[in-house]
């Protein structure tokens, strides 16, 4: 009798969970289905939501002026705190000058991925920290940590790959996209969880919240893949070798070792998947780099990297 009761309970559980999954995924599907993809020189991206249901939802959930204002305030606060703690690199710092010189070459190639970038007030700063990290906030507010430069012994091409990747997140408005999707999935999981709990007589709101969070992680991994390719496109047009992207993620994989989380619970794709995608796009990225260097494709020298620190 116990087994029969369990099977009936499981059947009762499966149908509402399927409905909840569909409800949670609906906001993303609504944004993706009508708009398809845009392909620029072999790189496919989701169009920036402008107008329509997708654009209206995003404007309500994450208004552009609010996102930009929050970004400016957060960046200013972070730089002020870093200055107070003595970890903000001064303007004459050699590594900072290197970063700003690379940014100066990348920025002219950003507007093709988002015309608004022409009006951004770009900033580049360096924080003295062991963290292997870098970011670009909406509006072109960039920061690198010395840990990523020193531990990975990045070449200029690899810095361009990192910076291009972070800039791409801002250009493709992934921050706003994530905010709107998180709001949508959170709302769906709350409503679905409450309805499901009432129907089953068991509180399953925690499980439905987890399901919603997993959807957001999936969205985040898709954004990482897009940022990899858009970032390398920008770097290649600026005259930086896109093969540096392969060297970079090999270094990252070596640094992460066995401590990296499984791809399914990470907001970043797994290393092998990342390398495969970048490698598969070299046929469109390398010609851009060759053109920037004014060289025939077959005359490009092999890419050389530095060994990362252990």
Question: Residue 231 domain-assigned?
Answer: yes
199 contact partners, CB below 8 Å, separation of at least 6: 16
Question: Residue 10 domain-assigned?
Answer: no
Question: Residue 128 domain-assigned?
Answer: yes
Q: Are strands 134-137 and 43-45 parallel, antiparallel or unpaired?
A: unpaired
Question: Residue 177 domain-assigned?
Answer: yes
Q: How many distinct structural domains can be found in the chain? A: 1
Question: Residue 11 domain-assigned?
Answer: no
| pLDDT of the chain, 310 residues: tens digit per residue | 333 333 333 333 332 333 333 333 333 333 333 346 888 889 989 887 665 444 454 455 456 677 778 888 989 999 999 999 999 999 999 999 999 999 999 999 999 999 999 999 999 999 999 999 999 998 999 999 999 999 999 999 999 999 999 999 999 987 666 655 544 444 444 444 344 444 445 443 444 444 444 444 444 677 888 999 999 999 999 999 999 999 999 998 888 664 554 443 345 666 788 899 999 999 999 999 999 999 999 999 999 999 876 5
Q: Which residue among the candidates 32, 64, 130, 166 is catalytic per the annotation? A: 166
Look at the pTM and tell me if it is higher than 0.75.
no
Question: Residue 132 domain-assigned?
Answer: yes
Question: Residue 72 domain-assigned?
Answer: yes
Query: Would you state the pLDDT for residue 72?
Result: 87
173 is catalytic: no
Return the percent helix, strand and coil in the chain, to nearest 5.
65, 5, 25
Question: Residue 3 domain-assigned?
Answer: no
Give CA–CA dist 140/168, Å, rounded: 10
Query: Would you state the pLDDT for residue 24?
Result: 34
Query: Would you state the pLDDT for residue 253?
Result: 85
Domain holding 147, by residue range, is 49-299
Give CA–CA dist 196/249, Å, rounded: 42
């Amino acid at each position: 009798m116990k087994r029969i009761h369990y099977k009936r309970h499981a059947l009762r559980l499966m149908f509402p969970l399927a409905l909840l999954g569909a409800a949670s995924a609906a906001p993303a599907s609504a944004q993706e289905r009508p708009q398809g993809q845009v392909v620029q020189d072999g790189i496919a991206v989701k169009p920036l939501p402008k107008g329509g249901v997708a654009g209206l939802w995003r404007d309500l959930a994450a208004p552009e002026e609010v996102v930009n204002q929050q970004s400016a305030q957060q960046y200013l606060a972070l730089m002020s705190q870093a200055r107070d703690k003595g970890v903000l690199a001064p303007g004459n710092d050699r590594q900072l000058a290197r970063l700003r010189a690379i940014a100066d070459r990348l920025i002219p190639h950003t507007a093709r991925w988002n015309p608004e970038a022409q009006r951004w007030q770009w900033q580049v700063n360096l924080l003295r920290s062991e963290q292997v990290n870098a970011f670009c906030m909406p509006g072109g507010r960039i920061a690198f940590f010395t840990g990523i430069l020193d531990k990975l012994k990045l070449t200029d091409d690899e810095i361009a790959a990192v910076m291009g990747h972070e800039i791409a997140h801002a250009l493709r408005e992934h921050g706003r996209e994530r905010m709107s999707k998180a709001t949508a999935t959170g709302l769906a999981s709350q409503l679905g969880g409450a309805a499901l709990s009432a129907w089953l007589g068991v509180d399953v709101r925690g499980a439905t919240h987890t399901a919603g969070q997993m959807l957001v992680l999936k969205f985040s991994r898709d954004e990482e893949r897009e940022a990899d390719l858009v970032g390398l496109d920008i770097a290649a047009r600026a005259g930086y070798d896109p093969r540096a992207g392969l060297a970079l993620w090999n270094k990252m994989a070596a640094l992460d070792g066995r401590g990296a989380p499984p791809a399914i619970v990470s907001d970043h794709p797994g290393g092998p998947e990342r390398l495969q995608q970048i490698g598969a796009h070299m046929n469109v990225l390398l010609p851009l780099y060759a053109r920037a260097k004014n060289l025939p494709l077959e005359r490009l020298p092999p890419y050389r990297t530095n060994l990362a620190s252990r």
